[in-house]
Amino acid sequence: MNPAVINLGYLGASALFVVGLKGLAHPRTAPRGNLLASLGMLLAVALTLLDRHILGFQTIVAGMTIGAVLGAVLALKINMTAMPQMVALLNGFGGGASVLVAGAGLLERQNAVIPALSHFTVAAVASGVIGAMTFSGSLVAFAKLQELVTDSSVRFPGQRALTAGLAVVATGLGLWLVLTPGPHAAYWLIVAVSSFLGLLLVLPVGGADMPVVVALLNSWSGLAAATTGFVLDNNILIIAGSLVGASGFILTEMMCRAMNRSLVDVMTGIVPLGSTGRGDEDLYAGRVNAGSPEEVALLFDAARRVMIVPGYGMAVSQAQHSVAHLAELLRSRDIEVEFAIHPVAGRMPGHMNVLLAEANIPYELLKDLDDSNPTFEQTDVTLVIGANDVVNPLARTDRTCPIAGMPILDVDKSRTVVVIKRSLSPGFAGIPNPLFADDKTIMLFGDGREMVQALLKALKEGP
Amino acid sequence: METAVLGLTIFVLALFTGFEVITKVPPTLHTPLMSGANAISGITLVGALLAAGSERDWLMSTLGFVAVVFATINVVGGFLVTHRMLAMFRQRQKTEP
């Protein structure tokens, strides 16, 4: 088929991608957006198969069948709590595919004369570096999220020097390939070095910082596709890749802002250390008010407005369905119920919203940080489940604490706070939480799901 | 050189378009956005198909084959799981009176 026709088709596919992403602006239009984007992909693939450079279809059919089966099984079987792992894995595959395609592109031009400093080799180097780092980094992120390896920050002496050294080696190899293009192994050496680099970059990142890394790798997988587009002189790869790159970049930014941490701090695993002023003992001694589900049920009965603040601990104890029942019961008694969701409440951007949506909680009730904070003052009872650092008032008051300046949910402004938590142990930031010792706070010590179920029982039985 | 500048033009304009469109996605849909982005970044499939079908030599075919598998997982898995998630956000509207 005429290349111009194929390129026109690619233009149509690109437009479908943009319109599809635009549909994600609202839950109502989002399913159609996703459908339009997938039609764009179908169009792009169908047109490519008509390209006259494709001489045989055996390899293609085998590869697509295997990929489609694996992808479909993964998509249909995956548990919603495991979405971060799945996205991490797909980020990695995207990076890996870009590395291989750019490598094949180099191979194809092996016998052609490539001038020194051409955009073609520069793009190949970029694909090799970004793609390989995305691939290995994503596999580490996957292993951490799946808890195949420790999810805490892994650091060892000389790590920074090693990372810097590898970066220098990768740059050197890149210059070699760009300045003296020709059939040599530099590209695959770059891939090997960058793979190791990706490993070293993600290892130091701790569990609570995972949302940032998953978003960053998402961005890189798009950029790798875009640079591969430069290698192949293929516009649709450039367009689709940069759309994904922009999306991941925005999310990375948002996650960093939600934790008041710089990207550099996250990637180096630096947890800001500061004095907490007082020790846990001092803060909590004799001031923690432990309550019972029955007591809390009475509070709910008298409330007109309840806010629920879920944290990752809620997902860990699989309490979301019980929480949904609780919300439903309260709403049936004409109590206004809303959910306040911190941007880093889950293990990836928007993760908590998906978990609550899966439990059939209407999305209209899910409020983000900016929308929920002004409403706490009018809230009678705020129920905090499995969240800690994101509701710690020290972030507002103590300038020396590790989470100083981090935007938090101002739950302490509501009339009563109920906290369901296993113990008084600190969150990821490792600092005590004065909220737990506040006069208006009642602690329900126990497993998230069991406690919510006990609450439900107490509410149904009534006083 | 000319193709490079043209490509760069497209790249920068697409980045701007991406920023404009993505900033309007609400936090509630950020996870489906990321899985949908996974699917779209599977566009490398286009390049992978060209490599896999070139019938040049075994090395090229192998690279192409593995790339086709990876990219197809992204495309199929990404769009399907996004669809699954978005259905959860939609279903509840029906149950709402």
pLDDT at A88: 96
A103:B63 CB<8 A: yes
Interface of B with A in 16-75 (CB under 8 A): 17-19, 21-56, 59-61, 63-75
pLDDT at A205: 87
What confidence tier does B55 reach under pLDDT thresholds 50, 70, 90? Answer: confident
Residue A32 CB contacts under 8 Å (≥ 6 apart), including other chains = A23
pLDDT at A281: 61
- Report how many Cβ contacts below 8 Å link chain A to chain B: 367
Q: Is B9 part of the contact surface with chain A (CB cutoff 8 Å)?
A: no
Catalytic residue among A151, A389, A412, A438: A389
pLDDT at A175: 93
pTM, rounded to two decimals: 0.91
d(CA A135, CA A124) in angstroms, rounded, equals: 16
pLDDT at A47: 94
Interface of A with B in 22-41 (CB under 8 A): 22, 24-28, 30-31, 33-35, 37-38, 41
Residue-level length of chain B? 97
The radius of gyration of chain B's CA atoms, rounded to the nearest angstrom, is: 18
d(CA A226, CA A208) in angstroms, rounded, equals: 30
**Considering the domain A280-461 in this protein, what is its CATH number?**
3.40.50.1220
Structure token digits, residue A164: 């810097």
d(CA B59, CA B68) in angstroms, rounded, equals: 14
H or E stretch covering A339: strand A336-341
Average the pLDDT over B17-34 and give the result: 95
pLDDT tens digits, residue range A188-213? 999 999 999 999 999 988 877 888 99
CB A28 within 8 A of CB B93: yes
Q: Write the residue in A34, A59, A232 that is nearest to B65 by C-beta.
A: A59
H or E stretch covering A419: strand A416-421
Q: Write the residue in A34, A60, A119 that is nearest to B36 by C-beta.
A: A34
Query: Closest by alpha carbon to A12, among A35, A48, A41, A32?
Result: A41
CB A296 within 8 A of CB A308: no
Interface of A with B in 79-98 (CB under 8 A): 80, 83, 86-87, 90-91, 93-94, 96-98
What residues in chain A have per-residue pLDDT under 50? 275-277
Q: Write the residue in B19, B61, B82 that is nearest to A250 by C-beta.
A: B19
pLDDT tens digits, residue range B64-95? 999 999 999 999 999 999 999 999 987 554 44
Q: Give the CA dihedral A256, A259, A264, A270, nearest 10 degrees.
A: -160
Q: Write the residue in A90, A96, A354 that is nearest to B31 by C-beta.
A: A354
Domain map of chain B by residue range?
26-95
pLDDT at A273: 56
A389 is catalytic: yes
Q: Is B96 part of the contact surface with chain A (CB cutoff 8 Å)?
A: yes
